[in-house]
Amino acid sequence: MSEAISPVVAAQRERFSASRSALPGVGHSAVARRRETGMARFESLGLPTRKQEAWKYTDLRRLEKLGLNGATAPADAALPDGLRAFVPAQGPSMVFVNGRLRPELSHLDALPKGLRLDGYAAALEAADAEVESRFAKAADASLVELNAALVEDGAVLRIAPGAVIEAPVRLVFLTAPGDAIVASHPRILVLAGANSQATVIEAYHGTDDTGYFTNAVVDAEIGDGARLRHYRRQSEGLQAVHLLNGSATIGRDATYDSFTLSLGADLARTEVVATFTGRGGNGHVTGAYLADGSRHIDTTTLIDHAVPDCRSREVFKGVLDGKGRGVFQGKIIVRRDAQRTDGYQLNRALMLSRTAEIDSKPELEIYADDVKCSHGATVGEIDSEALFYLRARGIDERTARALLVEAFLREALEEVADEAVREEFEAAVGLWLAGRHQEG
């Protein structure tokens, strides 16, 4: 492994050595083996580097600057008011602080019929066969292996076959400041039974006054005929590094609606892999990313059409200001037998400063004959004529620019089918526009 990243690897190894006997599920041999294997593979692989094609635009040396050590941050840390505002007032929810469940902040009583929520730690301790079987699977990604070694908690969300869950289920991950630099490795498992319907809102928040590291893994299975709306909001603190590996399998005639709003962290990378496993599936992997100051936001997706007669739609829009940098890597694979595939991909970026940067890499890899696939990427500045039109009507320049940015993002936000969530995300975008830091 390279000299530059060895302190990070060493710190995580130190933490594993110090805490391995207390990690959830280590009393069960299969879990203990998986954790040992995960750490060994992480040490062997090291952190991803720009020499790897999938990471050529994102440099994880920022992670080293955090000064990670082997300490474990307290789960009972007090929440500052700014974070307490993100604790849901009602509705089914699980709230995690520094990577571990806080039941007193969550709403786990009187859950709707057909919905089951468990802590990931509790599931590992109980030798839950469904959870263990998925946890046992090895991964090619070193960060997923690190998560397997050090995961302390997370959420297991089960929707019964045929159940319709009206209220959105919120999974909130908060990082509270403390004496130690926090490194948390949460894991989420979502199992949507056949013909079920549910909405899951996943959120990550932290404070700006200290650095920390979030390394999340999310696994969703959408059963035949099911519909899962999966919304994610990443608004970590200014000094945070946020890395997320997500995967979803989409069954026959199932629909997966995914939207990620990324507007936080010093460095953030969200990777989503969606695989069709049954005919007639629909996959919507969409989102918006906003980077100012010197923030770096990487969105990497893979849509795998492994079976015939499926449709996928990707729409991502980015707004970049100051020295902010955006990365979009989107790949659609159409396998040899995946005839009658319909795939659409669009990435558009709006540059608000001359020092901002975007790297866009859309890809189509097609092995079937009867397909309808398209992709596109555009980069531009604010329309000077539209800006002049608004200024001529007495609107000051800052307000006029904000209105044009909001209009640009509207197409992406319209992908959020849930009206209440869309309004929530629109409000978050408005706050970003009002308070962005343009200087890098």
DSSP 8-state code for residue 83: H
Query: For residue 283, how many other CB atoms are within 10 A of its CB?
Result: 25
Mean pLDDT of the chain: 91
In a domain, 315, yes or no: no
Residue 246's pLDDT is what? 96
User: What are 64's two structure tokens?
Assistant: 């080293």
Range of the domain at 269: 7-278
User: Is 260 found in the same domain as 143?
Assistant: yes
Q: Is the pLDDT of residue 439 over 60?
A: no
Length of the chain, please?
440
Closest CA to 42 of 136, 149, 181, 188: 149
The residue whose two tokens read 């979502």 is 190
In a domain, 226, yes or no: yes
In a domain, 71, yes or no: yes
Give the DSSP per-residue string, 124-150: HHTT-HHHHHHHT---S-HHHHHHHHH
At 375, which amino acid appears? H
DSSP 8-state code for residue 164: B
Closest CA to 434 of 276, 321, 357: 321
Q: Averaged over 141-157, what is the pLDDT?
A: 96
Q: Is the pLDDT of residue 437 over 60?
A: no
Distant-in-sequence, close-in-space partners of 354: CB < 8 Å, separation ≥ 6: none
Is the model more confident about 4 or about 58?
A: 58
For the stretch 362-408, pLDDT in tens is 999 999 999 999 988 888 888 777 777 777 877 887 778 888 888 88
| 8 A C-beta contact, residue 145 and residue 41 | yes
In a domain, 420, yes or no: yes
Query: For residue 439, how many other CB atoms are within 10 A of its CB?
Result: 11
For the stretch 32-58, pLDDT in tens is 999 999 999 999 999 999 999 999 999
Query: Diameter of the chain by CA atoms?
Result: 71
3-state secondary structure of 217: strand
Share of the chain above pLDDT 90, in %: 75
Q: How confident is the model at residue 72 (pLDDT cuts 50, 70, 90)?
A: confident
Q: Is the pLDDT of residue 23 over 60?
A: yes
| 8 A C-beta contact, residue 203 and residue 171 | yes
Q: Which of 257, 278, 299 is the last residue of a domain?
A: 278
Q: How confident is the model at residue 156 (pLDDT cuts 50, 70, 90)?
A: very high
State the Cα–Cα distance between residues 400 and 389, nearest whole angstrom: 9
Alpha helices in 46-88 (DSSP H): 61-64, 81-84
- Angle, helices 419-435 vs 397-413, to 10°: value is 150
In a domain, 371, yes or no: no
Q: Rounded to 10 degrees, what is the CA torsion of 207, 56, 45, 21?
A: 10
User: Is 175 found in the same domain as 55?
Assistant: yes
In a domain, 373, yes or no: no
Q: How confident is the model at residue 436 (pLDDT cuts 50, 70, 90)?
A: low
In a domain, 184, yes or no: yes
In a domain, 344, yes or no: no
Residue 397's pLDDT is what? 79
Q: Which of 244, 262, 278 is the last residue of a domain?
A: 278
Domain count, the chain: 2
Q: Which of 248, 278, 308 is the last residue of a domain?
A: 278
In angstroms and rounded to an integer, the radius of gyration of the C-alpha atoms of the chain is: 21
State the Cα–Cα distance between residues 112 and 98, nearest whole angstrom: 27
For the stretch 242-268, pLDDT in tens is 999 999 999 999 999 999 999 999 999
DSSP 8-state code for residue 388: H
For the stretch 214-251, pLDDT in tens is 999 999 999 999 999 999 999 999 999 999 999 999 99
User: Is 405 found in the same domain as 274?
Assistant: no
Tell me, yes or no, if the pTM score tops 0.75.
yes
Q: How confident is the model at residue 4 (pLDDT cuts 50, 70, 90)?
A: very low
